[in-house]
Structure 1
Amino acid sequence: MKKIILTAAIAISVLTIQSASAQISVNINLGSQPAWGPVGYNHVDYYYLPDIDAYYDVPAKQYVVYENNVWVHRSALPSRYRGYDPYKSYKVVVNERTPWVRNTVIREKYSGYRGRHDQVIIRDRRPEVRTVKYVEKHDNGKHKGWDKKDKGRGHDKGGKHRD
């Protein structure tokens, strides 16, 4: 009987550890996004780059470009894109597996973003400024005479209540 309880306890602890580690590995890749990525996203799989009709694979840190009728991963853009500057071009976040399989649809959907240069990028993001607004506390009506405006009621100088 002790062996069964011990085996069950070990099995439960192993399952608990596995589920805890699965919960810890949440898919947030904020730290791995390039400095030229757009602000406002805590998870990105791919950026579609409408200016050059290519993709950037964020987790792999590689470009996905169309060469010789095949989509290929490259650590750097080919020379034909030498004038392209990701810091100055628009990026569209695409969180789906192998988005280039639907490239025709994606290209048509985001063609209006070609040539746009108005996107705020991570590098240029200003730190969030939080302001604390001072709120003056007022008498809630339960403490007669505490308000300076109400001089006729309240406590006298000796601390005794008067009406």
Structure 2
Amino acid sequence: MKTIAFFVSAALIVLCSGPGAFARQEVIERIDGPGLRTLVTGLGHEITQDAVTDEGQPFLTARAGTLNYMVAGTACTEGQCQGMLTELLFTGTEATAETANAINESYAAIKMTVLENGNVVVSRYDVINGGTTAGALATSITTLLEITARLISEPAAEE
């Protein structure tokens, strides 16, 4: 059985002041650790790790159903981040560069990369210059998770 680990790295432009303050239509310009927590828990996902890198980049790992992923802020200054990178890591795959190219052509919302060790990264990157809403950021994460779930189930349907 293949091991699937979702790594959703998120760098958002969101400013949040605490739990419950993250209204889906509120315009946000930065995100920090508490904002990431509010975003992930607002999706109904379980946080499994909450940390900050030595460079001050907040990140979380979380579980959505059977999938594990990571969300991390990028382009951060003093813990306030201006973009969102969402990544999924698949191990034990037989994917090729041709597989990744086909996926990238079919799903413009995501990018798949096959690494030299046979692992696969599926990602989505959001930079919000001038602001966005929490709802748009939540939709970005959900989009990546839903497309990835579809990609996981497609090969099984062909067998």
Q: Do they superpose with TM above 0.5?
A: no
Q: Which has the higher strand share?
A: 2
TM bin, normalised by shorter chain, reads under 0.3
Q: TM-score, normalised by structure 1?
A: 0.22
